[in-house]
């Protein structure tokens, strides 16, 4: 079987496993669990924190072959969220994508559904930049994605939290990832992997509800000279970061996968987008 056929067959099998597993409480079914991300750091000769590099062999991604089959020529992508909707027989992949000739990495939503023959997936929608990585207008369909993530019986894969013992170390990793993400001279694959690290460092309130990834970036890129950490409990901390225009405050929570930013209060600059009205949180923990 050729590579494209293998990718399609794998994706269909896994979608079927997801659909079968939900009714039995078996999750994805068919076995297989995701491991921790690679903690190796490339030797770049610079004594600075490096973000953890996503490792396809240990991450729990299921539909990468399907996504890569539909990417335009020259594009590179790194998944950050996979959502199987058994009742709709559909799959949504949110991925960091850098297209050939593009200046910016985008967080794009790709939607697939099972064909009537039950043996293949077809692309319904591809490449909609739905989550902001920089200032701009909030996408009107972001609320739809957030509702889908929170829907009953949805099967969600989304690693969350950076593997660090202390919140300061997690912020150092996040700042390093933001630097690579915004470096137009970095390798395309390194940039989308950095974007995946940034997404992993944010909880759902910051990423999907407030759509505030770009605000966190404004607090940490360029890398601040000093970050004051206040430990609120074993699992919660506050970071105060001095920056032009006033101090930014980030709150962090320890998730299963490590530390993640759970709220951001960043003073607006003259060239920033006006503050968007916030919606109510879905639960007291800040998780969807």
pLDDT in tens, 209-261: 999 999 999 999 999 989 999 999 999 999 999 988 889 999 999 999 999 99
Taking CB atoms within 8 Å and a gap of at least 24, the contacts of 150-156 are 150/282, 150/288, 151/85, 153/22, 153/86, 153/87, 154/83, 154/84, 154/85, 155/18, 155/21, 155/22, 155/27, 155/28, 155/83, 155/84, 155/85, 155/86, 156/81, 156/82, 156/83, 156/84
CB 104 within 8 A of CB 120: no
Residues above pLDDT 70, as percent of the chain: 72
pLDDT at 200 over 60: yes
CA–CA gap between residue 233 and residue 5 (Å, rounded): 51
pLDDT, tens only, 19-40? 433 333 333 333 333 333 333 3
**Average pLDDT of span 160-184:** 97
CA–CA gap between residue 85 and residue 66 (Å, rounded): 16
Least Cα distance to 198 among 59, 90, 67, 105 occurs for 105
The model carries a pTM of: 0.76
Our CA dihedral for 87, 91, 92, 94, rounded to 10 degrees, sits at 140
How high is the pLDDT of residue 44? 41
How high is the pLDDT of residue 110? 97
Confidence of residue 182 (pLDDT cuts 50, 70, 90): very high
How high is the pLDDT of residue 60? 82
pLDDT at 83 over 80: yes
Confidence of residue 160 (pLDDT cuts 50, 70, 90): very high
Confidence of residue 50 (pLDDT cuts 50, 70, 90): low
Confidence of residue 101 (pLDDT cuts 50, 70, 90): very high
Q: Where are the domains of the chain?
A: 3-23+49-265
């Amino acid at each position: 079987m050729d590579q494209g056929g293998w990718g399609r067959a794998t994706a269909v099998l896994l979608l079927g496993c997801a659909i079968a597993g939900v009714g039995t409480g078996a999750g994805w079914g068919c076995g297989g669990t995701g491991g921790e991300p690679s903690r190796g750091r490339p030797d770049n000769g610079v004594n600075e924190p490096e973000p953890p590099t996503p490792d396809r062999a240990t991450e729990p991604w299921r539909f990468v072959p399907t996504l890569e089959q539909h990417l335009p020529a020259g594009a590179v992508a790194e998944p950050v969220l996979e959502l199987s909707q058994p009742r709709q027989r559909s799959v949504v992949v949110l991925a960091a994508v850098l297209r050939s000739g593009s200046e910016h990495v985008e967080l794009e939503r790709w939607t697939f559904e099972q064909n009537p023959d039950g043996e293949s997936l077809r692309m319904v929608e591809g490449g909609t930049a739905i989550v902001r990585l920089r200032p701009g207008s909030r996408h009107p369909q972001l609320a739809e994605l957030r509702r889908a993530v929170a829907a009953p019986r949805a099967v969600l894969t989304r690693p969350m939290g950076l593997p660090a013992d202390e919140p300061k170390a997690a912020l150092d990793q996040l700042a390093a990832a933001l630097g690579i993400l915004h470096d137009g001279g970095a390798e395309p694959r390194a940039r989308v992997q950095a974007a995946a690290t940034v997404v992993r460092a944010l909880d759902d309130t910051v990423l999907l509800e407030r759509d505030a990834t770009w605000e966190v970036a404004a607090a940490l890129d360029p890398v601040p000279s000093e970050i004051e950490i206040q430990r609120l409990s074993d699992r919660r901390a506050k970071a105060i970061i001095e920056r032009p225009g006033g101090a930014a405050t980030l709150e962090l929570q320890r998730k299963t996968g490590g530390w993640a930013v759970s709220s951001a209060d960043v003073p607006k600059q003259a060239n920033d987008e006006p503050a968007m009205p916030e919606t109510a949180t879905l639960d007291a923990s800040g998780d969807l």
